[in-house]
Amino acid sequence: GQQLNQSPQSMFIQEGEDVSMNCTSSSIFNTWLWYKQEPGEGPVLLIALYKAGELTSNGRLTAQFGITRKDSFLNISASIPSDVGIYFCAGPTSGTYKYIFGTGTRLKVLA
Amino acid sequence: NAGVTQTPKFRVLKTGQSMTLLCAQDMNHEYMYWYRQDPGMGLRLIHYSVGEGTTAKGEVPDGYNVSRLKKQNFLLGLESAAPSQTSVYFCASSYSSVGEQFFGPGTRLTVL
């Protein structure tokens, strides 16, 4: 079945550094969503992408829908301590109402 | 406007016991979902519903049942709990099949 692979699995960075993470699939997606989950909470949507090649920003976050439609990227600029959490990519499986989620990238920011 | 709420927040069961998790949303969303999240893994879909009175199986449905008798509520039942069902359970809802899913705060379930 369809799977989403996220890398890296975890990152430890210094406050102020930029962060890049990606999500890849063996099959095509028509929508990419990026979520952030903080400890003890449910995931919250950060950015939604609906077109191949689309580049969308939300404050210090920028996400891109890959041209091949098999990948997506999330960048965080000038990281701050509150960026700590797990970042998930997600996309709808073809022909269904169901989303699949990647395994997540765990981000820790050192002050 | 509470969004998506889940009850209870925590629960400990013994093997073989049953329980029901309640999810409620006040956004008039048609689509509702139940996921489980285990350490090191992403969210896995258990069951979902595309409207009142409808339910469908997700990726890991075995051992669970669901009901959507009212549009705003989606119930997840465990008839005979097993230790493998120890997990954090999240409910979500969305206005469309390809739109943002809004998540509840989760229920942490431990089965001894």
* Tens of pLDDT, residues B18-73: 999 999 999 999 999 999 999 877 899 999 999 999 999 998 999 999 999 999 99
Range 30-89 of A in CB contact (< 8 A) with B: 30-31, 33, 40-45, 48, 50, 88
- Among B29, B43, B89, B93, pick the best mutation site for testing chain A contact (most A Cβ within 10 A): B43
**Residues A39, A18: Cα–Cα separation, whole Å:** 22
Distance of CA A9 to the CA centre of its chain: 12
CB environment A68-86: b (16+ within 10 A), e (fewer) = ebebbbbbbeebeeebebb
What are the helix and strand counts (H, E) for chain A? 0, 11
Q: Which residues of B68-104 are buried (b: 16+ CB within 10 A; e: fewer)?
A: beebeebbbebeebeeebbbbbbbbbbeeeebbbbbb
CB contact under 8 A, A92 and B103: no
A3 contact B CB<8A: no
Amino acid at A46: L
pLDDT at A62 over 80: yes
On whether the CB atoms of residues A56 and A2 are closer than 8 A, the answer is no
For chain B, what is the mean pLDDT?
Answer: 94
